Structure 1
Amino acid sequence: MTFLHTIGAIFIFAPFLAFIMFVLLSRKKLKRRSIGFSADLTTFLLFISVPVSVESLWGLEISFAVAVTAILIAIFLLVIEWKKSKEIEVLKYIRKTWRLYFLLLSVSYILIWATGLALTVISFA
């Protein structure tokens, strides 16, 4: 059981490793779609990883803020989709929203990681 906890902790604190692993495992079967598939799976980890990283660095609980932001983004994109076309393709809308979550959470994670690294270097200087 500790092995599974260790693997889970590694993927939560380093979701890019999970992304790379998913790409490599799915590359042979899915070809070009493997990156999108890997992004979809990694988004789940990023929803956990970003709040955990912020809490470990600054002691702030932002899980609720991340969830509310995700809901507001989904509503905003739904309104835009509804204005463009009166008939909404649900799967296409969900895929766009989920991929946007991946991009925003990835950028957030990279910024949090870089900030944590900079704070650590500054504290040793």
Structure 2
Amino acid sequence: MNLIHNIGAIFIFAPFLAFILLILLTRKKLKRRAIGLSADVTTFLLFISVPVSMKALWDVNISFAVSVTAIIIAIILLIIEWKKSKEIEVLKYARKTWRLYFLLLSMSYILIWLTGLALTLISFI
């Protein structure tokens, strides 16, 4: 049981390890779709990882802000999709939204850790 907790903690604090591992495990079978599947799984991990990283580095809780931002983005994308085509393909819309979450959360994660690293280096100087 302790091993499962440790693996979970590693993937929460380093979700891109899961991304790379999934690509390596699924690339032969899924070919190009391996990246999409890896991004989908990593997005779920990033939804957990970004608030946990903020809490660990600066003791700031942003879980609610991340959730509200995700809902607002989904609403905005839904309105845009509805204006473009009156009939919304739910699966296509969900995939676009989820992949946008991946991009935004990935950039947030990288920015949080680069800022934390820079502040840590500055504190040692």
TM-score by length of 2: 0.99
Counterpart position of 1:114? 114
Q: CA deviation at 1:69?
A: 0.2
Q: Who is 2:104 aligned against?
A: 104
How does 1:64-79 map onto structure 2 within 5 Å?
Answer: 64-79=64-79
Structure 2 CA distance for aligned equivalents of residues 112 and 28 of structure 1? 33
Quick one: distance in 2 between partners of 1:39 and 1:6?
A: 22
Please name the residue that 1:94 is paired with.
94
3-state SS, counterpart of residue 32 of structure 2: helix
Cα distance in 2 between the residues matched to 1:4 and 1:117:
28
Instruction: Give runs of aligned pairs for residues 47-62 of structure 1, distance below 5 A.
Output: 47-62=47-62
2-side partners of 1:59 and 1:28: how far apart? 42
Unaligned runs of 5+ in 1: none
Per the alignment, residue 40 of structure 2 pairs with 40
Runs of 4+ deviating beyond 6 Å: none
The residue number in structure 2 matching 1:123 is 123
Question: What is the match of residue 80 of structure 2?
Answer: 80
Structural RMSD (CA): 0.5
Q: Distance in 2 between matches of 1:78 and 1:51?
A: 25
Residues 12-33 of structure 1: CA deviation (Å, up to 9, x unaligned)? 0000100000101110110011
1:101, distance to aligned residue in structure 2 (A): 0.1
For residues 119 and 65 of structure 2, the distance between their equivalents in structure 1, rounded to whole angstroms, comes to: 23
Alignment length, in residue pairs?
Answer: 125
Q: Which residue of 1 aligns with 2:12?
A: 12
Deviation of residue 79 (structure 1)?
A: 0.1
Q: CA deviation at 1:2?
A: 1.1
Please give the TM-score of this superposition, normalised by the length of structure 1. 0.99
- Alignment gaps of 5+ in structure 2: none
Deviations 1:36-74 (A, max 9, x none): 110001101000000000011111110000000000000
Corresponding letter in the other structure for 1:75? I
Task: Report sequence identity in percent.
Answer: 79
